[in-house]
């Protein structure tokens, strides 16, 4: 007996130490209660046939788990036909039991009961023998129960348990007639199956749940960090909205600019000097000649065909947008584009054509109008 209680005490101390290092939810007094029924049989430990001398047993029990590892139980069992008494129950055993979950003791608690667990059971109780009126008075004794519960926890919520419960039950003092000690001749095997329901806890589950503990300073720091992130997110949203609006405005302006009709400057002919000028306009950043400008190029070509002695000077210009180096290159390429069309399409000799890039043009007040190539006829 002393060894049993010492073992339970050491287990309880170890459990409390481990439990103190883990934060659990569902540990109120009203939490982790269960109720169940037992059905099985008892048979003497020695000097009898195991199955031939087995008698029926039924019972109920109520349990309260203090931690995922340690609990207490109150159990009442009744045995049939174990004596010569003619009463309904021949014996009853009411016990206060200590429960130790061996899986959680050695493997730790994961926040939910495992599908299969083994539970050690030990406790003391009141053994009562029922005697018929004609046979004498009822007898009482002290009992000890030692056993294991093989628990199968059912369902996703683990609210139900089906258990196989082998145990040894000792009559410690032989109906109060002898000193208290363990004796195999006063012991029986108790083999039963139990069906248990675990009541819902304050955490909404049918068992303990693990939570990560936070101290107040850590909570305040996390809260401040969350508020800072929210402020940054709000600022980023405002910046993103402004950027999206600018993109929309630029796309609208670009679309309007693409749809704008190119501006054509009419030819100017000075008969007194026998010269002719033709202006070919270009789109922004483009060096190719639009179809709308082909008549201006063809006018120069016709003149050169009809006047074999004449030549032409082509000067390309760019508008102020962009870098100076880029504008100089675009201006030169615009002059060369007109030169190539005169040579390749109209068969004008390249020796009669001078193509020069002039960089940024300032002939017109409207900056867009300076994206041109100006062709000037030189008549001899």
Residue 287 has pLDDT above 60, yes or no: yes
Q: Do residues 99 and 192 share a domain?
A: yes
Alpha-carbon dihedral of residues 353, 356, 360, 364, nearest 10 degrees?
-20
Confidence class of residue 164 from pLDDT cuts 50, 70 and 90?
A: very high
Verify that 207 and 347 share a domain, yes or no: no
Give the pair of three-digit tokens for residue 271. Answer: 């008969």
% residues pLDDT > 90 (the chain):
38
Average pLDDT over residues 304-320: 89
Q: Has residue 277 been placed in a domain?
A: yes
Tell me which of 211, 245, 278 is where a domain ends. 211
Same-domain check for residues 85 and 182: yes
pLDDT at residue 52 in the model: 82
What CATH number is attached to the domain comprising 195? 2.40.160.20
Q: What is the mean pLDDT of residues 247-268?
A: 74
Is residue 237 domain-resident?
Answer: no
Give the pLDDT band (50/70/90) at residue 125: very high
User: What pLDDT, on a 0 to 100 scale, did the predictor assign at position 94?
Assistant: 95
Most confident of 107-116, 159-168, 327-336: 159-168
Whether residues 349 and 200 fall in one domain: no
Asked if residue 69 belongs to a domain, the reply is: yes
C-alpha radius of gyration, the chain, whole number: 52
Task: Assess whether pLDDT exceeds 60 at residue 20.
Answer: no
Domain assignment present for residue 197? The answer is: yes
Q: Which of 61-70, 132-141, 181-190 has the lowest mean pLDDT?
A: 132-141
Residue 124, pLDDT score: 95
Residue burial 301-316, b: 16+ Cβ < 10 Å; e: rest: bebbeeeeebbbebbb
Average pLDDT, the chain: 84
Is 274 among the domain residues?
yes
- 325 and 203 housed in the same domain: no
* Domain-located, residue 220: no
Calpha distance 240→233 (Å, rounded) = 10
254 in a structural domain:
no
| Spatial CA neighbour of 127 closest among 72, 193, 171 | 171
Residue 62 has pLDDT above 80, yes or no: yes
State mean pLDDT over 343-363: 87
Regarding whether 53 and 188 lie in a shared domain, the answer is yes
Among residues 167, 193, 211, the one where a domain terminates is: 211
Cα–Cα distance list, 33 to 55, 320, 379 (Å): 30, 86, 115
- Cβ atoms of residues 43 and 27 within 8 Å: no
Sequence-distant (6+) residues with CB within 8 A of 24 are 67, 68, 208, 209, 210, 211
Question: pLDDT band at residue 263, thresholds of 50, 70 and 90?
Answer: low
Tens digits of per-residue pLDDT, 195-209?
999 999 988 898 888
Kindly state whether residue 216 falls inside one of the protein's structural domains: no
pLDDT at residue 158, rounded to an integer: 92
Higher pLDDT, 59 or 175: 59
Which residue range(s) make up the domain with 327?
Answer: 268-378
Whether 274 and 202 map to the same domain: the answer is no
pLDDT at 34: 96
**Comparing 43-52, 93-102, 209-218, which segment has the lowest mean pLDDT?**
209-218
**Closest residue by Cα to residue 108 from 20, 26, 18:** 18
79-98 in b/e burial notation, b at 16+ Cβ within 10 A? beebbebeeebbbbbebebb
In this model, does residue 63 exceed pLDDT 50? yes
Predicted confidence at residue 53, as pLDDT, reads: 81
Residue that is last in its domain, among 183, 211, 239: 211
Between 14 and 144, the higher pLDDT residue: 144
- Tell me which residue of 176, 89, 92, 87 sits closest to 133, measured CA to CA: 87
pLDDT at 15: 46
Q: Which residue has the higher pLDDT, 127 or 265?
A: 127
Rounded to the nearest 10 degrees, the angle between the axes of helix 324-344 and helix 294-306 is 50
Please tell me whether residues 202 and 277 are part of one structural domain: no
84 and 194 assigned to the same domain: yes
Total of domains in the chain: 2
* Cβ atoms of residues 73 and 123 within 8 Å: yes
Q: Token match 């029924």: residue? A: 37
Predicted pLDDT of residue 131: 82
* Residue 139 and residue 45 share a domain: yes
65 in Cβ contact with 201 (< 8 Å): no
């Amino acid at each position: 007996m002393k060894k049993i209680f010492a073992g339970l005490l050491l287990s309880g101390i170890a459990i409390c130490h481990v439990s103190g290092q883990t934060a659990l939810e569902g540990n109120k007094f009203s939490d982790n209660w269960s109720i169940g029924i037992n059905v099985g049989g008892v048979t003497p430990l020695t000097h009898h046939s195991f199955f031939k001398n087995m008698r029926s047993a039924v019972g109920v029990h109520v349990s309260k788990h203090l931690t995922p590892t340690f609990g207490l139980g109150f159990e009442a069992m009744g045995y049939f036909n174990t004596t010569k008494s003619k009463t309904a129950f021949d014996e009853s055993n009411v016990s206060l039991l200590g429960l130790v979950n061996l899986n959680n003791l050695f493997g730790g608690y994961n926040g939910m009961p495992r599908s299969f667990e083994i539970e050690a059971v030990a406790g003391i109780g009141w053994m009562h023998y029922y005697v018929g009126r004609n046979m004498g008075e009822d007898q009482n004794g002290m009992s000890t129960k030692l056993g294991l519960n093989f628990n199968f926890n059912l369902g996703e919520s683990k609210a139900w348990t089906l258990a196989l419960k082998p145990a040894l039950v000792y009559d410690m003092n032989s109906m109060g007639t002898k000193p208290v000690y363990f004796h195999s001749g006063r012991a029986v095997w108790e083999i039963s199956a139990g069906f248990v329901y675990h009541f819902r806890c304050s955490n909404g589950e049918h068992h303990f749940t693990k939570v990560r503990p936070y101290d107040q300073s850590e909570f305040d720091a996390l809260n401040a960090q969350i508020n800072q992130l929210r402020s940054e997110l709000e600022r980023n949203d405002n910046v993103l909205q402004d950027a999206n609006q600018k993109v929309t405005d630029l796309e609208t302006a670009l679309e309007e600019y693409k749809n704008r009709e190119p501006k054509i400057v009419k030819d100017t002919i000075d008969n007194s000097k026998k010269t002719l000028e033709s202006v070919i306009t270009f789109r922004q950043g483009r060096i190719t000649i639009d179809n709308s400008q082909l008549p201006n190029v063809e006018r120069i070509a016709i003149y050169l065909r009809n006047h074999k002695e004449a030549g032409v000077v082509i000067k390309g210009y760019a508008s102020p947008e962009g870098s100076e180096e880029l504008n100089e290159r675009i201006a030169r390429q615009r002059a060369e584009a007109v030169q190539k069309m005169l040579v390749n399409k109209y068969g004008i000799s390249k020796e009669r054509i001078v193509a020069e890039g002039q960089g940024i043009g300032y002939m017109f007040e409207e900056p867009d109008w300076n994206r041109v190539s100006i062709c000037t006829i030189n008549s001899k």
